[in-house]
Structure 1
Amino acid sequence: MIRGIRGAITVEKNEEQTIIRAAERLVRDLIKENSIEPDHVASVLISVTDDIDAAFPARGLREIEGWTYVPVMCMREIPVPQSLGMCIRVMMHVNTKIEQENIHHVYLEGAVALRPDLTGKKMSI
């Protein structure tokens, strides 16, 4: 079964290292919270809001050992008025036997506002 695992994080500055480090932190948390192995990942989609353009956040994922060959694509988020800015979102497609309700999605910093119903809710895996 392929499951989607979601996450998001906001950054304070549109700066290369800030973007790369935030993306790396988010993906590391997703890996840790869901016991993800790179060989089980089909693909990763990363979107950014229009106010982030100083770096490709996928570079943060490439900092993680073993993730060299995981397919990653970066794209722009739809610019909906009054939506959360300075935000990096991740959708990871993972081969797993974990039930949908036991997937742990990760929202950090200002991105907690996107899914307050999932924030701090530990799921068993």
Structure 2
Amino acid sequence: MTVRGIRGATTVLADDAAQVLVATESLVLEMAKNNEVDPADIVSVVISTTQDIASAFPAKAVRSITGWTYVPVMCTHEMNVPGGMPFCIRVLMHVNTTIAQSEIQHIYQNDAVKLRPDLQK
């Protein structure tokens, strides 16, 4: 096995705790499913939000998923770049896997599909 990074991003409509938690859970579950990742194979998850999101820690959504309690998760804020996508949650999941780097499926949901159209399958 090798450690690989799986990227993902999503957006919410507003800085609302329920939206942040639901969007984060949906994103990480799709990332894991599409890449056949078992929580025991996750090395760590780094989640960033744009600075307009402050209502909830997205890591709470990850830790609340059944079987994910002990996955190391950390939250941070994205750089505040003019013209950046608002209300955006980004995830970098480090996993032990046998999948080749070129075969990793990076997941972009909602308006975040605009961030990496080249990675959409």
Q: Same fold (TM over 0.5)?
A: yes
CA distance in 1, matches of 2:30, 2:64: 14
**What is the SS of the residue equivalent to 2:45?**
strand
CA distance in 1, matches of 2:26, 2:85: 19
Q: Could you list the structure 1 runs, at least 4 aligned residues long, displaced by more than 4 angstroms after superposition.
A: none
Output the amino acid matched with 1:104. Answer: Q
CA distance in 1, matches of 2:45, 2:33: 16
| 1:1-125 → structure 2 map (5 Å cutoff) | 1-119=2-120, 121=121
CA distance in 2, matches of 1:25, 1:59: 13
The alpha-carbon deviation at position 64 of structure 1 amounts to 1.4
Q: TM-score, normalised by structure 2?
A: 0.97
Structure 1's unaligned 5+ residue stretches are none
CA distance in 2, matches of 1:90, 1:69: 17
CA distance in 2, matches of 1:109, 1:66: 26
CA distance in 1, matches of 2:42, 2:35: 12
After superposition, the CA RMSD in angstroms is: 0.6
The alpha-carbon deviation at position 100 of structure 1 amounts to 0.5
Q: Give the number of equivalent residue pairs.
A: 120
CA distance in 2, matches of 1:62, 1:72: 8
Q: Percent identity?
A: 52
Output the amino acid matched with 2:20. Answer: I
The alpha-carbon deviation at position 97 of structure 1 amounts to 1.1
Output the amino acid matched with 2:119. Answer: L
The alpha-carbon deviation at position 112 of structure 1 amounts to 0.3
Which stretch of the first structure deviates more once superposed, 108-117 or 58-67? 58-67
The alpha-carbon deviation at position 63 of structure 1 amounts to 2.5
Output the amino acid matched with 2:19. Answer: T
Q: Deviations 1:79-118 (Å, cap 9, x if unpaired)?
A: 1110111000000000111100100000000000100011
